[in-house]
């Protein structure tokens, strides 16, 4: 097959030199810039206007403006084991969508309405489309990938019992997709490791090349069979095991080595006004909701058991 990895020959988007683009907000002004890779300013952000600023303390807007966001349900073997008790969920990937209004910047607030109990993190990497893409093979798909971002595919699991599997309310609410701070090309994504932290405690870890079932080129080619992907579109590539629910005050981060680290803080907000009128499906605390929100802790390796327990009880 032409879509197995490691790849025999690296496409340009996976080869160096590394280029990371970020969009910083200073005061009320938004500025694009490129991370400095070498020399005295390495690790700082060179704005396109020439200024070099501290990258750590800056505020960032999402580095993408997608017209659509498509996410794989399960693409890591550990997640497949956790949820399906088998190493592969099926022979082919399945997908859902998040509306563009779910986009959130690095360091942003992730809203948890007070009538909801279960807001789960899922650390992921996103692949970003570079130009109009339709009806391509996996080999060709590389030419349509601009680069990669760290991302957090957050989910309000209280709504798992509604929407018949589309997860619109689970995954689609405002702020449920922190992404950034950078959009990176020139890094071999298959050589990287994904790690998610809650309040600094490691809660997810996976080597991307070893544990993901389908590469981003496969996902792009699969989707582009019937759907035109446009420049800026975001493909979320799935999460490894140990998605768990977190609470207001918790800080969640996803780091993809070589790509970057995105963070968000959970913030409580009032229940929606229409909910008080009985409009719409109300948050539910069913067995299925809890199964997904809380996971099956008995199968967790010792290495993670303590961190997951601490993260759950923090704040």
Which residues in 248-277 contact a second copy (CB under 8 A)? Answer: 264-265, 269-270, 272-275, 277
Identify residues 1-40 at the interface with a second copy (CB under 8 A). 1-3, 21, 25-30, 32
What size, in residues, is the chain? 315
Of 45, 156, 189, 194, which one interacts with a second copy (CB under 8 A)? 156
Question: Looking at 117, 157, 175, 237, which residue binds a second copy (CB under 8 A)?
Answer: 175
Q: Kindly calculate the radius of gyration of the chain based on its CA atoms and give it in whole angstroms.
A: 19
What is the rounded CA–CA span in Å between residue 112 and residue 174? 10
String marking each residue 81-120 x if it binds a second copy according to CB under 8 A: ---------xxxxxxxx-xxxx-xxxxxxxx-x-------
Which 190-219 positions form the footprint of a second copy (CB under 8 A)? Answer: 218
Query: How does DSSP assign 11-25, residue by residue?
Result: -GGGSSS-EEEEEEE
Nearer to a second copy, 121 or 218 (CB): 218
The answer to whether 194 and 123 are in contact (CB under 8 A) is yes
Residue among 38, 164, 301, 313 that touches a second copy (CB under 8 A): 164
Pick between residue 162 and residue 257 the one whose CB is nearest to a second copy.
162
Are 245 and 41 in contact by the 8 Å Cβ rule? The answer is: no
What tokens does 21 get? 């683009």
Query: Rounded to whole angstroms, how far apart are CA atoms 168 and 80?
Result: 22
Cα angle 286-292-296, degrees, rounded to a multiple of 5: 105
Q: Taking the chain, what is the end-to-end CA distance rounded to the nearest angstrom?
A: 49
Least Å from the CB of residue 81 to a second copy: 17
Binding segment for a second copy among 35-43, 155-163, 197-205, 291-299 (CB under 8 A)?
155-163
Residue from 49, 54, 56, 298 touching a second copy (CB under 8 A): that is: 49
Q: Is residue 286 close enough to count as binding a second copy by CB under 8 A? A: no
Restricted to residues 118-137, the positions that interact with a second copy (CB under 8 A) are 130-132, 134-137
What 3-state class would DSSP assign to 217?
helix
Which of residues 30 and 315 has its CB atom nearest to a second copy in the complex? 30
3-state secondary structure at position 298 = helix
């Amino acid at each position: 097959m032409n879509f197995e990895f490691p790849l025999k020959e690296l496409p340009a988007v996976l080869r160096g030199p590394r280029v990371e683009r970020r969009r910083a907000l200073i005061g009320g002004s938004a500025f694009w810039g490129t991370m400095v890779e070498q020399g005295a300013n390495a690790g700082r952000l060179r704005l396109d206007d020439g200024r070099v600023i501290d990258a750590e303390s800056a505020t960032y807007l999402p580095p993408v403006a997608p017209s659509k966001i498509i996410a794989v349900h399960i693409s890591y073997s550990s997640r497949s084991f956790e949820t399906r008790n088998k190493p592969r969920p099926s022979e082919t990937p399945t997908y859902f969508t998040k509306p563009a209004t779910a986009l959130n910047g690095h360091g942003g607030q992730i809203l948890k309405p007070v009538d909801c109990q279960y807001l789960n993190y899922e650390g992921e990497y996103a692949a970003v489309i570079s130009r109009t893409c339709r009806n391509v093979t996996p080999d060709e798909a590389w030419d349509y990938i601009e680069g990669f971002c760290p991302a957090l595919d957050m989910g309000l699991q209280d709504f798992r019992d509604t929407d018949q599997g589309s997860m619109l309310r689970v995954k689609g609410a405002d702020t449920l997709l922190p992404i950034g701070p950078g959009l990176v090309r020139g890094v071999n994504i298959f050589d990287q490791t994904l790690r998610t932290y809650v309040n600094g405690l490691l809660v997810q870890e996976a080597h991307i090349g070893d544990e993901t079932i389908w590469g981003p080129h496969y996902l792009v080619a699969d989707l582009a069979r019937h759907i035109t992907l446009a420049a800026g579109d975001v493909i979320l590539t799935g999460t490894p095991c140990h998605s768990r629910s977190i609470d207001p005050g918790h800080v969640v981060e996803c780091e993809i080595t070589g790509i970057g680290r995105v963070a968000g803080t959970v913030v409580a907000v009032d229940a929606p006004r229409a909910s008080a009128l009985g409009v719409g499906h109300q948050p539910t605390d069913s067995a299925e909701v809890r199964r997904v929100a809380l996971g099956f802790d008995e199968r967790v390796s010792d290495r993670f058991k303590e961190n997951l327990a601490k993260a759950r009880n923090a704040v």
